[in-house]
Amino acid sequence: MSSFAQQAANSPKTALESVEWLEYRSFGADRKDLPRVLLIGDSISGQYFDAVVKGVEGKAYVTRLGTSKAVALPAYFDEIRLALSQNHYAVIHFNNGLHGWDYTEEEYREGLTQLIKLLRTLAPDSKLVWASSTPIRTGPPMFEGFAPNNVRVKERNKIAAELMSRENIPVDDLYSLMEPHHDMLKDGTHYNTDGSTLLGAQVVPCVLKALDSK
């Protein structure tokens, strides 16, 4: 085990949520005739997953690792290693930031730094693309207000943007995309069909561009 993964595994702080979950879905799992894309994220990634599957059809197969684990949580790195052990991925489109509120932003920065190192170590040939975290809002009416934790979402996005700039990793800015669209929310975090369509319409060309660069 590498030193940074060992550091995460040995972390004395393990802050779990009341419900933790993991979803791993791999389309074309039995095929090797096309490159493969890995989407790493939380429940928001599930909202654009189908659009990416359809949008890259005939060009790539898509796998999704959806998880509630915070990027500073040791178990998160176990899940990443599991996904990376299953396939070689031409493109990894990844996000983490809407979970793990018991971790500080400095711990978030350290966890995200370790994640980049892990991806670069275990998937050195993969094209990495970071997705910023989407806003969280509150209502009524119509989720027009921002939830208190949205300040932290913006701070985490800022931290991530600085790290990605330093590491020359392009950013798919989903926050700016969805910030004006409180009308597309079905709760304070998740989107209705129109919102999911809008997310997919941005993620698909971003993934295709990364595939073309390979």
Question: pTM for the full model?
Answer: 0.93
Total structural domains within the chain = 1
Min mean pLDDT across 11-15, 28-32, 130-134 is at 11-15
Position 195 pLDDT exceeds 70: yes
Structural domain that includes position 100: 3-213
User: What span, in angstroms and rounded, lies between the C-alpha atoms of 85 and 76?
Assistant: 14
Q: How does pLDDT run across 162-174, given as a tens digit for each residue?
A: 999 999 999 999 9
Position 11 pLDDT exceeds 60: no
User: What span, in angstroms and rounded, lies between the C-alpha atoms of 106 and 84?
Assistant: 26
Strand duo 171-172 + 127-131: pairing: parallel
Q: Which two tokens stand for residue 206?
A: 């971003």
Q: How does pLDDT run across 100-153, given as a tens digit for each residue?
A: 999 999 999 999 999 999 999 999 999 999 999 999 999 888 999 999 999 999
CATH number for the domain that contains residue 203: 3.40.50.1110
